[in-house]
Amino acid sequence: MANLDFLTSEEKEKVQQFMEITNTKCAETAHQLLSDSNWRLDSAIETFFIVSSIDAGEPSASDQSNSENNRNVGFVENIGESHDNIQEISAGYDSDWNASHTIREPLMTFSDQPVPDQLNNFITNFHERYCTSPDTTMPTFYTDTLQNAIDIAFGHENENLCRPLALFLNNEKSRHTENFIKSILCNTLVCEFLREKFVLFPWDTTEELNKERLFQMMIDSRMRAVCDELADFARSVDDFPVLVIMNRKRYSFEIISQFNWRSDVNEAFEGLHEAFDKFKHEQLVEISKEIERKKEREIFDQQRADYDASLQADLEKKKRKVENKVMEEKEKNVKEAKDKVQKEVEKEKEKEKEKEDQKIKILLSKLPMEPEASDPTCVTVQFRFPDGTQGSRRFLQSDSIQTMLDYLTTERYSPEQCRFFNSEFPRKDIMKCYDCNKNFGDVNWPKRETVWIVLN
């Protein structure tokens, strides 16, 4: 059954319309003709009937005219129909596909341009051809030479940063190219995993000269064994496209895994994980072997260095002992000085607190009783404290504003530490704008007022 899940809903609808109008049962043929016609339904239908007429024998002019009219009528009647799902149709009509398939232009034409320039052309054409719909993700291709891709993948001094090399080899003559690219290579999860864990080097082999150039680059990069394997594989166009995962062991390369149109997206995604895990496992094995070799080389040097290290350690030990004694004495003196200062600060704070407590005690003894809320001569003041809390207190109109300030002092918000603002706009600084010795009635203090306390 043809797998067209990689198409957009609009493209699927056009495939279904094409199959109904042309009465063909080959979904793959419908998809290929529409794709080659830039998804123009009328053009794809016309191409289909032209090819069909050639296969069946050339019709007369009148028959051809009638056939054309019938097709146009059928097209008009069916073009507006809406189809939510495309049936999976048997893909056994290879002869229909071969007859109607128009070879796409290569993603990069052969030239004597430097490899980076050719790859930039590849990426531009790839994006325009396969990544214009919102449900596809553009892969992150490496755009320098193959040798530099190898160096990036395997040449890190820190071997933990090494990554497998992924070769994406494309051929626009293959009938499986669009399906593989859209459903697997441009899948978001696959793209992200390739970007994070692999170095992805692309190449288009549609033109024979480009394929030969790739093989020469591989030979120049000491990849002859892999090159021979791919050269044998490349004899069949319909085995393309292929994603080849490679590892380098010391100075030789090997293929870990490869994926082509026979893989679905789940198999490819799981296979990439397995290939990366295999790469890391082989890397650990190689690192272990290298460690063993280094250990053997280092044993003699280590034994010879042990005696010198022992003598040096004794000298360092004596030196550290003297330094530690000096440091301990210095730290002791610093700590004693800090403790002395801290005690003096705490003692001063205690004195200040005692003075403040004594002042509060005196103010509390002088503070008039809070009047009842029912008293017609009382004023109510709402306080907004700096810590976000609120409070309130009632005073008589005959009480002085200083009485309110004394009350706030008993709440440990003294005028020396704070400023007090009323609710007028703009707000007024009470201590600056009022004579605090006057009572609330004298200054026409509101019956209800809000006072904001702000720390200096």
Please check whether residues 135 and 265 belong to one and the same domain.
yes
Domain boundary pick from 100, 125, 144: 100
Query: pLDDT tens across 233-260, in order?
Result: 777 888 899 999 999 987 789 999 999 8
Please check whether residues 146 and 257 belong to one and the same domain.
yes
Structure tokens at 28: 């793959």
Q: Report, as an integer, the average pLDDT of 213-231.
A: 91
Please check whether residues 95 and 120 belong to one and the same domain.
no
Q: What is the mean pLDDT of the chain?
A: 83
- Give a yes or no: residue 324 inside a domain: no
Strand partners, 243: 168, 259
DSSP secondary structure, 126-169, as one string: HHHHHS-STT--------S-HHHHHHHHH--SSGGG---EEEEE
Please check whether residues 95 and 163 belong to one and the same domain.
no
Task: Considering only the C-alpha atoms of the chain, give the largest distance between any 2 of them, rounded to a whole number of Å.
Answer: 123
- Give a yes or no: residue 4 inside a domain: no
- From residue 195, how far is each of 134, 200, 278, 316, 438 by CA, in Å? 19, 7, 18, 50, 78
pLDDT of residue 2: 54
Query: pLDDT tens across 60-116, in order?
Result: 433 444 444 444 334 333 433 333 333 333 333 344 444 444 567 899 888 888 999
Among 47-56, 143-152, 308-317, 386-395, which stretch is predicted with the lowest mean pLDDT?
47-56
Query: pLDDT tens across 274-283, in order?
Result: 999 999 988 8
Domain boundary pick from 287, 311, 330: 287
Q: Contact, 267 vs 189, CB < 8 A? A: no
pLDDT of residue 386: 93
pLDDT of residue 103: 60
d(CA 406, CA 356): 12
Among 64-78, 113-127, 215-229, which stretch is predicted with the lowest mean pLDDT?
64-78
Among 280-294, 341-355, 434-448, which stretch is predicted with the lowest mean pLDDT?
280-294
Among 136-150, 213-227, 239-253, 278-292, which stretch is predicted with the lowest mean pLDDT?
278-292
Q: Report, as an integer, the average pLDDT of 376-388.
A: 94
Strand partners, 244: 167, 258
Strand partners, 420: 453
Q: Minimal CA–CA distance to 165: which of 271, 282, 289, 275?
A: 275
- Give a yes or no: residue 311 inside a domain: no
Residue in this structure with the two tokens 């994406």, named with its chain if needed: 168
pLDDT of residue 54: 57
Please check whether residues 92 and 134 belong to one and the same domain.
no
- Whichever domain contains 413, its CATH number is 3.10.20.90
d(CA 35, CA 401): 88
CB atoms within 10 A of CB 105: 10
- Give a yes or no: residue 405 inside a domain: yes
pLDDT of residue 86: 31
- Domain around 397: 378-455
Please check whether residues 119 and 93 belong to one and the same domain.
no
Is the per-residue pLDDT at 316 higher than 80? yes
pLDDT of residue 55: 53
**Banded pLDDT at 46 (limits 50, 70, 90):** confident
Domain boundary pick from 287, 311, 329: 287
Is the per-residue pLDDT at 141 higher than 80? yes
**Is there a cis peptide before residue 241, judged by omega within 30 degrees of 0?**
yes
Please check whether residues 126 and 225 belong to one and the same domain.
yes
**Banded pLDDT at 422 (limits 50, 70, 90):** very high
Q: Report, as an integer, the average pLDDT of 296-308.
A: 83
Please check whether residues 32 and 74 belong to one and the same domain.
yes
Please check whether residues 149 and 121 belong to one and the same domain.
yes
Is the per-residue pLDDT at 439 higher than 90? yes
Please check whether residues 95 and 129 belong to one and the same domain.
no
Q: Contact, 265 vs 186, CB < 8 A? A: no
Q: Give the strand pairing for 418-421 and 252-259.
A: unpaired
- Give a yes or no: residue 310 inside a domain: no
Please check whether residues 25 and 119 belong to one and the same domain.
no
Please check whether residues 84 and 150 belong to one and the same domain.
no
Q: Contact, 170 vs 203, CB < 8 A? A: yes
pLDDT of residue 290: 78
- Give a yes or no: residue 158 inside a domain: yes
Domain count, the chain: 3
Q: What percent of the chain has pLDDT over 70?
A: 88
